[in-house]
Structure 1
Amino acid sequence: MKQILHRGAAWVKAHPKIDIAVLVAGLFIFALVTLFHVSSASIWFDEAFSAYIIRFDYWQIAAFTSTDVHPPFYYWALKLWSDLFGTTELALRSLSIVFAIGAISGAFILMRRLFGRSVAAVSLLFMVLSPMIVRYSDEARMYTLATLIVVWATYVLVRAIQAKNQKRWWVAYAVLVALGMWTHYFTAFVWLAHWAWRGIVVAQKNKGVKAFAKAYFTKSWLWVHVLAVGLFVPWLFFMVKQLGTVQGSGFWIGPVGVDTPVNYLTNIFYYLEHGKTQSWIALLIVTVIALVIILIPKTYRRLRADSRQSFWLVSVVAFVPPILLFLSSLPPLRPSFVDRYLIPSILFYSLFMAVVFVVGTRSWRPIARVLPIILVSGMMIFGISNVYYYGNYNKNSNTHILTRQVINEIKRVGGEGQPIVANSPWLLYEAAPYESADHPVYFIDENTQYIFGSLDMLKESDLHKISDLDAFEKANPVIWYFGATTDADVTPYRDDWRKIQTVSVTSPITGKTVYRATAYQVSAE
């Protein structure tokens, strides 16, 4: 076995072009893993918001998202993508897969440049099998786009420092920093991690405050950030307004606690909350974390000086953003710690583990060196199975989103020309992607409180809106009233509605029946 491993390693070393095949194979596996599951789950509210906002033009998208909580760049990209490929679940979510493939490719190239081929290969393995990356590559949201930008910005930062002709690399870095902010505000934590890394590198060569400051705040470093801020200035006012709204009126995110970092780690490996990480799988994760901690100093000692700087870079991007997000979630600030906001750092945690397990175990026997990699890979494969099982299950509200399944039941048993009326604007968003000519989707305007910016699209547009319920009832004698309730039927909006039948779907995860639709006779034929 030892000879086989040595011969295999020697053959790979003698054929550097094999790296292209390794990368392509890894990306192919990742595409299979994500595409296999991409249409399994119903679109949930956040994705539904993405799907709805791209019905409008680019200026309207910016206007509507300015009153919500995110910048517009992802929505612009999704609109362009949907114009080319449509608005099915596969079409909407596949863009995130494309972004993830770009991020994984960039990270592979980065790690090969910084640490060599072996570390790059193991990094690729961990990224491809990462449950969190798989999960949010199958979601029509901006997380993998943010990750793509972060990875390539980090690569460009390295090239800017190493290159003789630095200007073009610094310009590219400024553009990527700005694009990150136009995509997700929490990429700012990564840019702060880059600042921290630069501080570590500069401090190693410059002793004293004056020497450090002079070496740190160079003209190139300052003007590149001036350029980045300048590129973001058109949206800066809206960012301040959005953050002020969240901090002033609160948000749905719960407070951080001692379980927050534990949940973060169990989701990275298993896509499970810490309360469900029990018995042997709990022991395995403790073992892996302990092994990583033990190997960190050995890894650092075995690296050359330049590679140590690279190790610091990977480490700060992996760990600084989660720490900053945790700290910014403490009182008096509103909590904002959500695992999916940290997908870029989760990817870099895979890179961090790859460095530790390849470099830190160089004195081990070949078979022993492979064991931690196999162990982590097995844990992550188990995590992918949990991604497949839970799908879009909302761990924060303990809700299994089953909108598509209920609408499919309506289409199966309902008659032609029977519209679906959502009993809340939130469910209207979830139902809209599944409407058809026979079963268009609406919501009732009267008594709807448009108190959240995310509802401005409904407030300002007549699309899907019932403004005159009497006229709507005359035109549609039978309607399906759709809602999320534990009652046997969806409570009618008006007392004179007469029930015909109810369809419902039971969650295989919770065993509860919450999503229902009741057919009502609302007027004479």
Structure 2
Amino acid sequence: MIALMAFSLFLFISAYNDSFVFDEAYSMAMIQHSYSEIWNITAADVHPPLYYYMLKSFTLLFGNSLLTLRIFSTLGVLGVFMLGMISIRRYFGASVALVFIVIITLLPVTQYLADEIRMYSWTMFFTLANAIAAYKVFRNSTLLNNLVLLLMALCASYTHYYSLMGTATIFGILLFFLIINKRQTGYTIGAIILFIIGYSIWIPELINQVTAVNHSYWITGLTLKDLLLFTYYLFSPKEPTHPYTIFTLPVMAVALSFMLLLIIAIAGVTIKEYKKLNRTKTITALTFMAVFFIPVISAIFISYVMKPIIIPRYMTCLLGCLVLGISILLVELYESGEKRIRTLLLTSIFMLSVLSVARFFSEKQHMEETNKEYYEIEKYFKGKNTEKTVFISTFSACGWLGMLSIMYPSPNNLYLVYSEKKTPVSYKPFKLIEVNTLPKDFDFHYTQSFDENMEQTKINNHFMNGVKADYLIEDSLIQITHPQKFEGKEIYLMKTIHREKEKQ
């Protein structure tokens, strides 16, 4: 019932979200290409192709409306619930399954994963399924169990690189426990060899991507503020890219600090009560949690000594394993019978519920604001030609232009990115074309984004000054999306002067 209610809530959120962000536009643009093109395009990016293949196949069956795309992400969370109701319940008991489903439901980040048109809900599902398959192999290393392990490992690793790191961790831990317990390793070693063969198709692309990351990558260096964000990201009612809405920064800081103190207290109780807990269950719980922490800590270390490669949302790929480990520990602690421990655990669940409800209403308000901006854009283009026209942006606003290409995807439209000099970048999967000369003799919609970045302002001024002798502005829309940071976007309908004179 809890899973059904949560699933219905996530569908409700998806149904009322009519706007989308750039990362979602990227997914929407990707599935417009063929399967072979998807392979080539994502090989030049930073993610494996399985999610895009799955999403494209889903839309071929059910259409590619915004709601359909969001439902596909919600199905990934439903898959996690199914693992809880079937596999986790079978191997760890109904109490663990219940706690697992409750925590997954209440974590504010789950609302985000279930609604966003990205791969993270499915990476959480595949990585958790991979870890549970490894546990089944440890209990009974049959050919069938190892084949399931192989399949889940390939699915996880072809969906996200942090799931690949999770897979490597799972294989390593599984072999370790099989060896020290003197159990059969033949099938498992065979599964690992087949995994390497199966993933070898993608290894050349992985090497190219690693090389590209070593030269340049969009992720910036980790700061103390970033590390703080990692500690509360999973249960924060605020998505880092969103402005503060129903609560202020001090209020949220107090709530998150209290939640962190509760988590620290639970960790302290676990250490204190360790000898009283079931040793096998405790080791099992810590092992599942290790599948989360080993890749994350490794990535943070690499980000410091080599190149930044981690942002908070990548942790969600491994989230299911962390929650399963925590659920096993919480049930063990609760069943110890001590009143103070039960009070601590129930208080933590209550606090998590508060953060979850806060996230829902905060996101609802943010969604209403972004939907309003989306409707303003629709209103601006109403009555204008969006079936055979030209859209132009400067290089600094090409992401915003890419989003417009998704909103108005007519094959007769042109989407041009102006840059004074040729840039060594690929605009795929968007159908953007770079031009290095200013327009002179055709009408177009000029779109730009603005903030306090002086370089971006300089580029925008260069373009507008360069075309003012040949064009006049017939209509415009200016949106301030983040008043605190003076950020926004603009659209101008540019008409050639000579054509307006001909009309007169």
Give the TM-score band, short-chain normalised.
0.7 to 0.9
Residue 244 of structure 1 pairs with residue 217 of structure 2: no
Secondary structure, in 3 states, of the residue corresponding to 2:118? coil
Q: 1:335 to 1:513 in 2, by over 3 A?
A: closer
SS in 2 for 1:507: strand
Using the TM superposition, name which of 174-183 and 289-298 deviates more: 289-298
For residues 48 and 17 of structure 2, the distance between their equivalents in structure 1, rounded to whole angstroms, comes to 28
Query: Which structure is higher in RCO with an 8 Å CA cutoff and minimum separation 6?
Result: 1
Q: Give runs of aligned pairs for residues 43-442 of structure 1, distance below 5 A.
A: 43-163=20-140, 166-195=142-171, 197-198=173-174, 201=177, 205=180, 215=182, 218-247=185-214, 249-272=215-238, 278=252, 280-297=254-271, 300-331=274-305, 333-362=306-335, 363-365=337-339, 368=343, 370-390=346-366, 404-405=374-375, 407-412=377-382, 414=384, 419=389, 421-423=391-393, 424=395, 425-435=398-408, 440=413, 442=415
Q: How far apart, CA to CA, are the structure 2 residues paired with 1:416 and 1:114?
A: 56
In structure 1, the residue matched to 2:454 is none
Give the distance between the partners of 1:299 and 1:389, measured in 2 at CA. Answer: 43
SS in structure 2 of the partner of residue 329 of structure 1: helix
Measure the CA separation in 1 of the matches of 2:411 and 2:32: 20
Superposed CA offset, 1:333-388 (max 9, x none) = 21011111111333333333333333213323497353332222223332344444
- Separation in 2, partners of 1:439, 1:402: 28
Residues in 1 aligned to 2:299 and 2:130: alpha-carbon distance in whole angstroms: 20
Distance 1:456 1:511, change over 3 A: closer
In 1, Cα distance between equivalents of 2:332 and 2:264:
16
CA distance in 1, matches of 2:47, 2:411: 34
Task: Give distance in 1, aligned partners of 2:227 and 2:11.
Answer: 26
RMSD, matched Cα = 3.6
Provide the aligned length of Structure 1 versus Structure 2. 476
Q: 1:292 to 1:503 in 2, by over 3 A?
A: same
CA distance in 1, matches of 2:138, 2:368: 41
Q: Per the alignment, in what secondary structure is the counterpart of residue 153 of structure 2?
A: helix
Structure 1 residue 239 displacement after superposition: 0.8
Shift in CA distance, 121/270, structure 1 to aligned 2, threshold 3 Å = same
**Is this contact kept in 2: 1:270–1:384, CA < 8 A?**
no
Matched position secondary structure for 2:144: helix
The TM-score with structure 1 as length reference comes to 0.80
- The one-letter code of the counterpart of 1:181 is S
The 1:452/1:300 distance shift into structure 2, 3 A limit, reads farther
| Cα contact 1:149–1:179 (8 A) shared by 2 | yes
Structure 2 unmatched runs, 5+: 241-247, 452-456
Cα 1:450/1:108, change in 2 over 3 Å: farther
Deviation of 1:503 (Å): 0.7
Task: Report the alpha carbon displacement of residue 230 of structure 1 after superposing the two structures with TM.
Answer: 0.8
Q: Distance in 1 between matches of 2:445 and 2:379?
A: 11
Report 1:485-496 matches (<5 A): 485-486=450-451, 491-492=463-464, 494-495=467-468, 496=470
Aligned partners of 1:484 and 1:514 also within 8 Å: yes
* CA deviation after TM superposition for structure 1 residue 298, in Å: 5.4
- Matched to 1:297, the amino acid is I
* Whole-Å separation in 1 of the counterparts to 2:85 and 2:143: 24
Q: Which amino acid aligns with 1:263?
A: L
Identity of aligned residues (%): 17
Matched letter for residue 480 of structure 1? H
Question: Aligned pair in 2 of structure 1 residues 86, 392: CA closer, same or farther (>3 Å)?
Answer: farther
- Whether contact under 8 Å (1:504, 1:513) holds in the other structure is no
Q: Does 1:35 align with 2:12?
A: yes
**Contact 1:199/1:216 (8 A) holds in 2:** no
CA contact (8 A) 1:435 1:441 kept: no
Letter in 1 for 2:191: V
Asked if 1:506 is matched to 2:480, the reply is yes
Flag structure 1 segments of 5+ consecutive residues without an equivalent. Answer: 1-21, 207-214, 394-399
